[in-house]
Amino acid sequence: MALKSGKEYIESLKNLKMNVYMFGDKVESPVDHPIIRPSLNAVAVTYDLAQDPMYQDLTTAVSHLSGERINRFNHIFQSTEDLVKKVKRQRMLGQKTACCFQRCVGQDAFNAVYSTSFEVDEKYGTDYHQRFLKFLRYAQDEDLVTDGAMTDVKGDRGLSPSKQADPDMYLRVVERRPDGIVVRGCKAHQTGIVNSHEVLCMPTIAMEPADKDYAVCFSVPTDTEGIVIIYGRQSCDTRKMEGGDIDTGNSAYGGHEAMVIFDDVFVPADRIFLNGETEFVGMLVERFAGHHRPSYACKVGVGDVLIGAAALAADYNGVPKASHIKDKLIEMTHLNETIYSSALACSYEGFPTASGAYLIDLMLANVCKQNVTRFPYEIGRLAEDIAGGLMVTMPSEKDFRSEEIGHYVDKYLRGIDSVPTEYRLRILRLIENLTLGTGAVGYRTESLHGAGSPQAQRIMIARLANFEHKKELAKAIAKIETK
């Protein structure tokens, strides 16, 4: 079975026995938990749209391994066209869900490990690449969701992994056996882990020979013995447990993050894709980050929803023709499209690696993500400006539905007379959801820190800027002789 439906995907998760905790208690059925379910629904959309002929070009691809049609999230980029379709898919899914749909990290991890393992094998004669191909084919054939796990908790960030006071601050190998390895540590900020079948772990920073035990890449099922998942909090997350659907802003969809602890987890040998080759860690990290930074084209799709919501808020407030409102909506659109253009640019400038898999232009990918660290904040600020303060001071849905006081809310919170008060409340809650993060991982703070903090991109931009070449260009124009 190469393509599951959303329903089949959800059923497949019920077979997993994940060790999930939330609010200090074990979650017996993550699939049915009201806080988790919206994030599950968002992933299910990626399955259902792959079944829809209208979206199949963006959501599916033909596997270069099997020749079968697969979900594009499990595809290895074979051309710049594949890279561009990824960006267009990201925007489309952002428009459909207005949140993080959680499968992007896995695809970016697939592509980074694919090309890096090939080059490790070329140098050392290892068989990491063949192991990875076997795993990839399995993920494609079963249409699995794979969580890409890179970010370690890091402890003292001024020290390398092997110099930490607590050696478990970075995921590491604690035992090597003939049949595999045992690992210990924690991965933070794990997007959609509770909705994933597999977790593909990678190192998080470049390493020296002394860090050999930390230079490890592997994949295991998310319900493997020793894995403990601690669900992350979001602002106003318990609104999802109150009933009703106005106060959540986006009742159908959401995202989630979690800590994932590896408490002496055994990894079979055929699931190990890097094991001590520290000189290739930097390549793996750089390629993953490069692929993941334009994945934030999803923010453009979410931005489309936010711009639409702001425009509706202006309509409902009776001020759609005000010049300053028009100007703010234009500015929001300009910023949103600037993010999209840089995501497309780095894809069109992609090139093949030694493995044959395509990599984006790293400079432009980092420029794209640098834009993402800034522009959604301004788009959000302008949306809040247009919406007005009522967005964060209005009464709850229960007050609106109340037989005793609901009529007051309905009467006094109406905007233009032709639009029901409920519609105004709904659109304001949606703006709150997107700009303040009330239950929707996927816009402001994730835009800043996801795929690396702003400084991480600036370091890469400086490394790739080639200032010496630019100096020579200036000298040539100014007729300055080069000695």
CA distance 132 to 116: 11
The first and second tokens of residue 106, run together, are 């896995």
Active site residue 100: yes
Q: Is 257 an annotated catalytic residue?
A: yes
Would you call 203 helix, strand, or coil by DSSP? coil
Which stretches of 125-228 are DSSP H helices? 128-142
Tokens found for residue 348: 């069109």
Q: Which of 9, 60, 75, 104 is catalytic?
A: 104
Active-site residue flag, 368: no
To the query of whether residue 373 is one of the catalytic residues in this protein, the response is no
Q: Which one from 201, 298, 346, 368 is the annotated catalytic residue?
A: 298
Closest of 95, 102, 186 to residue 145, by C-alpha: 102
Known active-site residue 122? no
State phi, psi for 60 to the nearest 5 degrees: -130, 165
Instruction: Provide the greatest CA pair distance for the chain.
Output: 86
- The residue annotated as part of the active site, out of 292, 358, 397, 432, is 292
Annotated active-site residue in 97, 116, 191, 438: 191
* Four-CA torsion 388, 392, 393, 398, nearest 10 degrees: 120
**Residue 56 token pair:** 């199949």
Residue of 9, 46, 99, 100 with catalytic role = 100
Out of 214, 231, 296, 443, which one is annotated catalytic?
Answer: 296
**Rounded distance, CA 465 to CA 238, Å?**
46
Q: Kindly report the backbone phi and psi dihedral angles of residue 349, in degrees, each rounded to the nearest multiple of 5, phi listed first.
A: -95, 15
SS (H, E, C) 150-172: CCECCCCCCCCHHHCCCHHHCCE
Per annotation, catalytic residue among 198, 257, 277, 432: 257
397 flagged as catalytic: no
| 408 catalytic per annotation | no
Q: Is residue 197 flagged as an active site residue?
A: no
Catalytic residue IDs: 100, 104, 191, 257, 292, 296, 298, 446
